[in-house]
């Protein structure tokens, strides 16, 4: 599932063709994805101007001049692809419609944004913009890891007394939003923290060290366009590149990249997900 860097990369790719632009025509080709689409969604979107295109956690939020906000979740395999728009010297013509093109936005300036989702785990919703973070998908989210509300004192306080493994705790969207399996593995490796360690047993200094490392890993991943492992593509159809610099994720059996370390990357299943780490470096 796309994590914060992938969703942020998609948002940035959509900005030139969506923010400030009018949706000339919205087409909805099926009644639902993960959940039913809002009633009359195509009609409620057609003719509306997108005032702002934001991100909250793993959701893209488009604020409309109608006073509503369109929420988009990419799910496991959702892609938002742009056509009919010139980027630099390259023009992307409209492709032939595909089977899993479920929602299409034809913009007033000629661009087309197609939401394609083969597995149909994605979702869209429309709600009053004034509802804000009180929306049911947003209200229990923790602070943004790249925002000012996420800092050392906050994380130290939230991890006090936690008996769960630190990896499980960092995946809790109520503690910090947007982090997923890939980036938590990478963060814990850089912090030299064993993913099995109980969160509440870590010293305040070690917990505090996680904050800048989380920011560093996410910023590097965004700069690389995210990580493309299976279905993820950027909005222009290109792959992300952060997977080429993974230090532990998906590197089971390979030598540890830490200088002078003789260990190799191990994998085990934790809370139903693959965890990758170096048993020699991470304590």
pLDDT digits 0-9 by tens, 1-35: 678 988 998 999 899 999 999 999 999 999 999 99
Q: Which pTM value belongs to this model?
A: 0.89
Domain ranges, ordered by start, for the chain: 4-134, 152-277
Q: Give CA–CA dist 70/14, Å, rounded.
A: 14
pLDDT of residue 86: 58
CB burial string 209-233: b at 16+ within 10 A, e below? bbbebbeebbeebbebbbbbeebbb
Closest to 146 (Cα-Cα) out of 116, 167, 177: 177
pLDDT digits 0-9 by tens, 83-92: 887 555 555 6
pLDDT of residue 84: 85
Closest to 185 (Cα-Cα) out of 271, 78, 87: 271
pLDDT of residue 234: 47
pLDDT of residue 259: 93
pLDDT of residue 232: 41
Q: Which residues participate in catalysis according to the annotation?
A: 2-3, 58, 273
pLDDT of residue 230: 46
What are the residues facing 87 on neighbouring strands?
90
42 Cβ contact partners less than 8 Å away, ≥ 6 residues apart: 26, 27, 28
pLDDT < 70 regions, the chain: 1, 86-92, 226-244
Q: Which fold has domain 152-277?
A: Helicase, Ruva Protein; domain 3 (1.10.8)
Ramachandran bin of 126, using left for φ above 0, alpha for ψ from -120 to 50, beta for the remaining angles: beta
Q: Which fold has domain 4-134?
A: N-terminal domain of MutM-like DNA repair proteins (3.20.190)
Whole-number Cα distances in Å, 279 to 196, 239, 258, 262: 10, 31, 12, 10
Q: Give CA–CA dist 41/33, Å, rounded.
A: 13
Ramachandran bin of 10, using left for φ above 0, alpha for ψ from -120 to 50, beta for the remaining angles: alpha
């Amino acid at each position: 599932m796309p994590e914060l860097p992938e969703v942020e990369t998609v948002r940035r790719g959509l900005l030139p063709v969506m923010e400030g632009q009018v949706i000339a025509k919205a087409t909805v080709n099926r009644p639902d994805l993960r959940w039913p689409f809002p009633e009359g969604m195509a009609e409620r979107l057609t003719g509306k101007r997108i005032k702002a295109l934001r991100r909250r956690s793993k959701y893209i939020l488009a604020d409309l001049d109608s006073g509503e906000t369109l929420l988009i979740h990419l799910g496991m395999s959702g892609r938002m692809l742009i056509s009919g728009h010139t980027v630099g010297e390259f023009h992307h013509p409209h492709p032939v419609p595909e089977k899993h093109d479920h929602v299409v936005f034809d913009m007033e300036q000629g661009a087309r944004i197609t939401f394609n989702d083969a597995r149909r785990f994605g979702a869209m919703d429309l709600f009053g913009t004034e509802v804000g973070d009180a929306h049911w998908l947003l209200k229990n989210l923790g602070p943004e890891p790249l925002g000012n509300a996420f800092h050392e004192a906050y994380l130290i306080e939230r991890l006090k007394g936690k008996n769960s493994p630190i990896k499980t705790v960092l995946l809790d969207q109520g503690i910090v939003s947007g982090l997923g399996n890939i980036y938590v593995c990478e963060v814990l490796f850089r912090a030299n923290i064993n993913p099995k360690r109980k969160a509440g047993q870590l010293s305040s200094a070690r917990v505090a060290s996680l904050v800048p490392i989380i920011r560093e890993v996410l910023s590097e991943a965004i700069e690389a366009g995210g990580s493309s492992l299976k279905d993820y593509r950027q909005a222009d159809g290109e792959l992300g590149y952060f997977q080429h610099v993974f230090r532990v994720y998906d590197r089971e059996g390979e030598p540890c990249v830490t200088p002078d370390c003789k260990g190799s990357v191990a994998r085990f299943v934790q809370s139903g997900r693959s965890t990758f780490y170096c048993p020699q470096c991470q304590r």
